[in-house]
Amino acid sequence: MGNASYLAVAFEGILLIGALVVLLVAVVAGRSRAVWAPIAGASFLLAALAGVLQWIEVENGGGGMFFSAQNLQVIKSPMVVLDGFSAMASIVLGLVGFTAMLGSWDLVAKVGKRSAEFVALSLLAFAGLHMMAATPNLVVIFIGLETASISFYVLAGFIRADVKSDESALKYFLLGSLASALFLYGIALTFAATGSLTIYGVNSIRDFFSETVVSDPGILLVGMALMLVGLMFKISAAPFHQWAPDVYQGAPSGAVGLMAAGVKIAGFAALGRIFVGGFISQIDTWGPIVAVIAALSMVIGTTMALVQTDMKRLVAYSGVAHSGYLLLTLLAGVEGMSAMWFYLATYPFMIVGTFAIISTVSGPTSTSSPIEAMRGLSRRSPEMGWLLAIFMFGMSGMPFFAGFVGKILAFIAAGDAGYIWLVVVATLTTVIGFAFYLRVVATVFSGEDDDTTMIDPTLSSRFAVVIGATVTVVFGIVPWILIDVVRDALPL
């Protein structure tokens, strides 16, 4: 148990301590929001810094597996793994969490006494999300998934008296717990088939596949399929996406950025860890299924987004389509991981920024946000209008924005894996997708407007939006900086 083992859990540790301090301050000193802002911000930034240290440690060859069963000669059942993959997850989750917290701050300022709960739950949720990326053990992945999900159920229903918020919470809860149960059953069946719950180590799932020729894979197939379905629910890939628009719309605008961005990152990190890290030898089995789900997500997400009138539902359906693009990177196996991390390091910032703008325009506690509310935004608040246009261009995959590079990398990954038909579908949906993104931009810049009230965004949401837009633009113009980095973000 050297220093590296503490570094491996530093992200979770920092966020846990941050959450405990917030609750302690709330108990001892009563309400004082001014204290929680620095605690929450410092926790996320320190966690991201821990991620950078983890990255350096891995670059110097110091990674590995930690917290294995004691008193055994060999690493038998590691609980935490430190590699480029988990270090990258720390950095991305820490920075996205920091930005999303800034975007949520208007909401925190409005919920009064319960703001301590909001901050603590956000911190704990992100700790859980990182657990999903940084463990080779399916048990710990499940615990992380539940930690994050349970926190997010509460955040979705945070405005208790609003009928949309509570509906959103119940829908998220019922479908989320169903997904968790399916995922868990998948873990149980995988355990039965392979005799192991760990991906790496001795007697692990990888050892099982390298030693055994799977001739009669019935139970293993069902296990993998159920785990896949459970995670697809979480990342809202079609046809498991029905909850997403309702939950995004009904949850308070200030909290959605946090939820949506975090779950996307961790869901795909867990998919990468389990299916590329553990089941890579079975890629011929799960590959076609993922390909079909990706195609469905892209088509359904794009077509449904065309007819939306609510901004939050539109972003939800575009998120379904983006899940499809992200799934393309899984098909390429280990080679696709760098494309996945490029996408995951840029797209969540666009989500967070977009929701920060929605929260500014429609109010942080609002549970609906019609696109019409954005009309004339370029004049009512020029910076918000222009930056929303940047996010829309970024999401649509316009050249010179980060979304374009992410999509191209994903398409190349899928093309290399031999799924040419999928690349064709992806290209077509991207082109069709321009329609609804540009519709939003057109509304923002539209000439005639009845509502000329100026919008004065708060400092925190300004920061959130500017950080998001910076990421979108910088990595769109000079993507090779990030591409060079994510090249090493591989699972062990």
Q: Which is nearer to another protein, 267 or 406 (CB)?
A: 267
Q: Which is nearer to another protein, 368 or 470 (CB)?
A: 368
The SS3 assignment for 64 reads strand
DSSP state of 65: E
Site for another protein in 137-196 (CB under 8 A): 138-139, 142-143, 146, 150, 153-154, 157, 159-164, 166-171, 173-174, 177-178, 180-181, 184-185, 187-189, 191-192, 195-196
**Residue 309 contacts another protein per CB under 8 A:** yes
**Residue 250 contacts another protein per CB under 8 A:** yes
Q: Which long-range contacts (CB under 8 A, 24 or more apart) does 19-23 make?
A: 19/43, 19/119, 19/120, 19/121, 19/123, 19/124, 19/127, 20/120, 22/116, 22/119, 22/120, 22/123, 23/116, 23/120
Q: Which is nearer to another protein, 77 or 460 (CB)?
A: 77
Closest contact distance (angstroms) between CB of 346 and another protein is 28
**Residue 236 contacts another protein per CB under 8 A:** no
CB 312 within 8 A of CB 368: yes
Q: How far apart are the C-alpha atoms of 49 and 120, rounded to whole Å? A: 20
Closest contact distance (angstroms) between CB of 344 and another protein is 26
The SS3 assignment for 137 reads strand
Closest contact distance (angstroms) between CB of 279 and another protein is 13
In single-letter form, the type of residue at position 11 comes to: F
Q: Judged by CB under 8 A, which stretch of 51-59, 134-142, 349-357, 462-470 contacts another protein?
A: 134-142
Q: Report residue 366 as tokens.
A: 């609002």
Single out the residue of 148, 145, 151 nearest to residue 169, CA to CA: 151
Residue 279: in which H helix or E strand, if any?
none
Q: How far apart are the C-alpha atoms of 334 and 490, rounded to whole Å? A: 7
Contact mark string toward another protein, 58..77, x via CB under 8 A: -----------xxx----xx
**Residue 308 contacts another protein per CB under 8 A:** yes
If binding means CB under 8 A, how many residues of this protein chain bind another protein? Answer: 68
Closest contact distance (angstroms) between CB of 437 and another protein is 18
Q: Which is nearer to another protein, 82 or 169 (CB)?
A: 169
Closest contact distance (angstroms) between CB of 230 and another protein is 12
Closest contact distance (angstroms) between CB of 9 and another protein is 12
Closest contact distance (angstroms) between CB of 285 and another protein is 5
Q: Which is nearer to another protein, 100 or 140 (CB)?
A: 140
Distances 241 to 206, 247, 304, 484 between C-alpha atoms, Å: 31, 10, 11, 33
Q: Which is nearer to another protein, 202 or 432 (CB)?
A: 202
Number of other residues whose CB lies within 10 A of the CB of residue 379: 15
In single-letter form, the type of residue at position 147 comes to: T
Q: Judged by CB under 8 A, which stretch of 20-28, 93-101, 445-453, 481-489 contacts another protein?
A: 20-28
Q: Which is nearer to another protein, 123 or 469 (CB)?
A: 123
Residue that the structure tokens 């935004």 belong to: 377
User: What angle (nearest 5°) sits at the alpha carbon of residue 268, between those of residues 262 and 272?
Assistant: 145
**Residue 372 contacts another protein per CB under 8 A:** no
Distances 173 to 86, 168, 228, 231, 406 between C-alpha atoms, Å: 27, 8, 19, 15, 31
List residues near another protein by CB under 8 A. 20, 23-24, 26-27, 69-71, 76-77, 113, 116, 138-139, 142-143, 146, 150, 153-154, 157, 159-164, 166-171, 173-174, 177-178, 180-181, 184-185, 187-189, 191-192, 195-198, 245-246, 249-250, 284-285, 288-289, 291, 307-310, 313, 365-368
